[in-house]
Copies of this chain bind each other. A is one copy, B any other.
Amino acid sequence: MSIKDVRFGFNFLADTNVLTCMQSIKEWELTFACLPVSSLRLKSTSLLDSTCTVMNPKFCQQWCHCIVAKIPLPINIDSSVETIRLENQKSFIQDISWATFLNVYSIMFELPLQGDFINLVRLLDNQIDAYQSSAVLIQFWALVPVVNLRTHPWKKWTKFISSIRNINQMKLVLKIGTELPSSEELDRWLGEPVTALIIDKSAFSINKKGHPVLSKSHQEFIKKMFNIGCQIIISASSHIQKHVNYLSYLYRNTTSLTPYSSDFISGFEDYLQTPLQPLKQNLQSYVYETFEQDPIKYYQYERAISKALIDKFDDKELIVFVVGAGRGPLVNSTLRAAKDADIKVKVWAVEKNENALPSLLYKNKENWDNCVTIINKDMRLWKPSEKCDILVSELLGSFGDNELSPECLDGAQNYLKTDGISIPSSYTSFLSPVQSRKLHSEISSIRKNRDNCNFQKPYIVQLNNVYTIAKAKPLFTFHHPRKNLEENNSNKDGFLTFNISQDCILHGFAGYFETILYKDVKLSIVPETFSEGMFSWFPAYFPLIKPTLLRKGEELQINFWRCSTKFKVWYEWCVAKPYQSVIHNINGEMYFMSL
């Protein structure tokens, strides 16, 4: 599996001596414990020993990073009775102060599901700020049950987290018991910063052999949570070792949620990258290296080229131009396809990156019998003496056209015969709305965010801590060759609508593409049609400056533009319904691709 190593902990419900607690988690092979803050105080003789051990320097360094201090439900902090409010506020701050003094791993509190939490939010942000100004980082865990009879926990949570300013220091802990909501409602938590899951003993039933087991739907949900790197907290009163064993077993049998092969994506989950611009900036050797390893992509290219060669064959030698040849993988595919089909071809390889040339020249000599003509030119400027039957290229980005394939192939079409074939023959970008509190906060914390510029550019990112609000829909399609090159092909606009099946927060859009290489040979990174085993492209992500609450039954409309001048191409985007957002990246001011 590609998911991170999951930490397992135990939830001590009653006051427990710290030493006993540390011995227990060691015995159960766990890594942390949640302990009432009262257990960490010197207030009863029975606790004195442990807390004095707490004061022992050597031991302290061991245990403090293993303890989550639970502080009492802060419901009365928002009491309308001033004396009650102030008294509760005082004890809440004292608890935080003591836990911080001890430098615990995290501080956990139950999010009040009834009443307001205006004062609670104020106190939490105040405390985080005050410690931060002294360079002390504290982290809070807000505990929320997935089911509550009297209210909707997600709505309470979203109201709470939306009003917190220091979001990076506020994580979510979900509690599950016997009952679970619908699978759709559970999936919405995938877009929240869930740091841990408390699994109550009531979630378990006992099987015939006397072992604690979980229902299928519990298992499904916990596996999804493993996938977003969620920690597990066991909350049982007996047979603890059996609970630990069962959940460890479940963890070992969890497979990755994404269609990507796990070896490749490990460490890239939710890691925002700047899209490559191979047209503007030459690729580095190791980038070619990585992409050339894709087991699926070049196999499909070879199949497509093979079909095209057979369709074009009329006893004469066929001319194939590989444009943007890089270090030659598509030349390999072409030569292999021709050999297998027993069709004579004349191959030209065109590459603008002079640093890739030595590899091409070397391979031509060693592997290709010097049969390939190598040209060091920008394909848009090359003027060959003859035209080709088949034009092969690999210029697609995660969003299809975002590495300027349309503009490059329009230039190259001048030397494709009028009845010639372009591989790829078409490609389509796809978009789907997503909720991801994590990606939003990651983008917020990037340096230099003047005019919210970081929310007005696309990213490439292995989407992980993300809830897909609705399935991806196709946006822009480009076909090659084009009938009329005089018509502008760079500018497009379009809109997509999505039905909202449950209340959720829209943070941005996942971008994907599908391409038809030739006839029935396709490549896709759209989740529903993903080319299994392929790893050349992670999804794209287009953020929104302002997260938007969408309600069940509403229709979401988003508008997208692809715009261009002679020198650059860029996207603009906005939400049009149910609310109108600002247009993002207007005039390409925040991000553009250079021609």
Chain A interface (Cβ within 8 Å of chain B)? 41-42, 48, 51-52, 55, 57, 60-61, 64, 94, 97-98, 100-103, 130-131, 133-136, 273-274, 276-277, 280-282, 284-286, 289, 293, 327, 353-356, 358-359, 361-362, 447
Q: A134-B280, A274-B134, A277-B134 are known contacts. Are A286 and B61 too (CB-CB below 8 A)?
A: yes
Residue with the highest number of chain B CB atoms closer than 10 Å, among A94, A101, A103, A130: A101
Which of B60, B100, B277, B356 lies in contact with A289, CB distance below 8 A? B60
Closest to A280 in B: B134
Closest to A327 in B: B55
Closest to A51 in B: B358
7 pairs across A/B with beta carbons < 8 Å? A51-B358, A55-B358, A98-B355, A101-B356, A103-B286, A130-B281, A136-B281
A99 and B284 alpha carbons, distance in the complex (Å): 9
Cβ-defined contact, A101 with B277, below 8 A: no
CB distance from A102 to the nearest CB of B (A): 5
A130 and B61 alpha carbons, distance in the complex (Å): 46
A276 and B135 alpha carbons, distance in the complex (Å): 8
Closest to A357 in B: B42
Cβ-defined contact, A101 with B282, below 8 A: yes
Q: Give me 14 other A-B pairs in contact (C-beta within 8 A), A57-B293, A61-B286 excluded.
A: A42-B358, A55-B362, A57-B289, A60-B285, A64-B286, A94-B354, A97-B282, A97-B355, A101-B282, A101-B285, A101-B355, A102-B284, A135-B274, A447-B447
Q: A60-B285, A358-B41, A362-B55 are known contacts. Are A273 and B135 too (CB-CB below 8 A)?
A: yes
Closest to A56 in B: B289
- B contact residues around A131 at 8 Å (CB): 281
CB distance from A350 to the nearest CB of B (A): 18
Residue with the highest number of chain B CB atoms closer than 10 Å, among A41, A57, A134, A356: A134
Copies in the assembly, this chain: 2
Cβ-defined contact, B42 with A284, below 8 A: no
Cβ-defined contact, A134 with B276, below 8 A: yes
Which of B48, B273, B282, B284 lies in contact with A362, CB distance below 8 A? B48
Cβ-defined contact, A52 with B362, below 8 A: yes
Cβ-defined contact, B60 with A101, below 8 A: no
- B contact residues around A277 at 8 Å (CB): 134
- B contact residues around A57 at 8 Å (CB): 289, 293
- B contact residues around A447 at 8 Å (CB): 447
A353 and B293 alpha carbons, distance in the complex (Å): 60
CB distance from A108 to the nearest CB of B (A): 19
Shortest beta-carbon contacts, A-B, top 6: A101-B355, A134-B281, A42-B358, A135-B274, A57-B289, A101-B285
- B contact residues around A356 at 8 Å (CB): 101
Cβ-defined contact, B284 with A354, below 8 A: no
A273 and B136 alpha carbons, distance in the complex (Å): 11
Closest to A61 in B: B286
A103 and B288 alpha carbons, distance in the complex (Å): 12
- B contact residues around A61 at 8 Å (CB): 286
- B contact residues around A130 at 8 Å (CB): 281
A561 and B447 alpha carbons, distance in the complex (Å): 33
- B contact residues around A358 at 8 Å (CB): 41-42, 51, 55
- B contact residues around A41 at 8 Å (CB): 358
- B contact residues around A52 at 8 Å (CB): 362
Closest to A136 in B: B284
CB distance from A443 to the nearest CB of B (A): 15
Cβ-defined contact, A359 with B55, below 8 A: yes
Which of B42, B103, B281 lies in contact with A285, CB distance below 8 A? B103
- B contact residues around A103 at 8 Å (CB): 284-286
Which of B97, B284, B293 lies in contact with A101, CB distance below 8 A? B284
- B contact residues around A354 at 8 Å (CB): 94, 97
CB distance from A47 to the nearest CB of B (A): 11
CB distance from A91 to the nearest CB of B (A): 12
Q: A102-B285, A135-B273, A273-B135 are known contacts. Are A42 and B97 too (CB-CB below 8 A)?
A: no
A355 and B134 alpha carbons, distance in the complex (Å): 17
CB distance from A317 to the nearest CB of B (A): 30
- B contact residues around A282 at 8 Å (CB): 97, 101
CB distance from A565 to the nearest CB of B (A): 19
CB distance from A105 to the nearest CB of B (A): 13
Closest to A42 in B: B358
A447 and B100 alpha carbons, distance in the complex (Å): 25
Residue with the highest number of chain B CB atoms closer than 10 Å, among A133, A273, A284, A354: A284
CB distance from A348 to the nearest CB of B (A): 21
Closest to A278 in B: B134
Closest to A52 in B: B362
A135 and B271 alpha carbons, distance in the complex (Å): 14
A100 and B354 alpha carbons, distance in the complex (Å): 12
A97 and B281 alpha carbons, distance in the complex (Å): 10
A469 and B29 alpha carbons, distance in the complex (Å): 56
- B contact residues around A274 at 8 Å (CB): 134-135
Closest to A274 in B: B135
CB distance from A83 to the nearest CB of B (A): 21
Closest to A55 in B: B359
